[in-house]
Amino acid sequence: MATERTFSILKPDATARNLTGAVNAVIEAAGLRIVAQRRIRMSDAQAKKFYEIHAERPFYGELVGFMTSGPVVVQVLEGENAVARYREVMGATNPAQAAEGTIRKQFAQSVGENTVHGSDSPENAALEIAQFFDDKDIVG
Ligand code: CMP
C-alpha cells in the first residue's frame, strides 16, 4: 500500500463545540498525519462548488447553509491508504449507524451535523485538496 493523501474538513458543529483538538487526537491516533491545516470561514461560493455533486439533492441548500454557518478546519491527511483509512476512522455518514470508536459515533449530532468530511476516492481527494491548498502549504 502506498502513502496517500486525503482531504478532511472539521465542520462547524465541531468548531462550535471546541472539538478540533479531540477530533485531531483521533485522527493522529489512527496513524494519519495532519500535513496541512487551516481554519477558515467557507464562502457560499466555495461551499456550493465543493458540494456541486450534491446540487440536485433535496438537502443541498441545508448542507451549504450549514457549512457556511461557522468556522471550519480544512486539512490534508497523509498515511498508508489514507482515503479508506480516514473513512474508517470517521464512521458512517449517519452517526446512528457509525461504529463504536469512530469520530462520528463519538461526536456527530445528525446526518447533516456530522462533524467531519473525508474524500471518497483518491481522485476526489486531489481535486478537493487543490480547492483549498497550494502544494507549498502541504508539509509532509
Ligand atoms: P459529507 O461527507 O460532507 O458529504 C456530503 C454531506 O451531505 C454528508 O457528509 C452529510 O453531512 C450531508 N448529508 C447527507 N445526507 C443528508 C441529509 N439527508 N440531510 C442533510 N445532510 C445530509
pLDDT of residue 3: 95
* Sheet strand arrangement including 3-10: 33-40, 72-80, 3-10, 116-118
Residue 27 has pLDDT above 90, yes or no: yes
Ligand 1 atom, smallest distance to 62 CA: 20
User: 25, 9, 6: which is closest to 86 by C-alpha?
Assistant: 6
What is the SS3 assignment for 130?
helix
Residue 1 has pLDDT above 80, yes or no: no
pLDDT of residue 56: 98
To the nearest whole percent, how much of the chain has pLDDT over 90? 99
Is 28 in contact with 34 (CB distance < 8 Å)? yes
CA distances from 82 to 38, 60, 89, 99, 100 (A): 19, 27, 10, 19, 20
For the stretch 30-79, pLDDT in tens is 999 999 999 999 999 999 999 999 999 999 999 999 999 999 999 999 99
Averaged pLDDT, 114-134: 98
pLDDT of residue 2: 85
Q: Specify whether 54 is catalytic.
A: no
Q: How far is the CA of 29 from the centre of ligand 1 (A)?
A: 25
When pLDDT is cut at 50, 70 and 90, the band that residue 131 belongs to is very high
Name the active-site residue from 42, 117, 128, 129. Answer: 117
Q: Is 105 annotated as a binding residue?
A: no
* Three-state DSSP string of 104-127: HHHHCCCCCCCCEEECCCHHHHHH
Minimal-distance CA residue to ligand 1 atom 10: 112
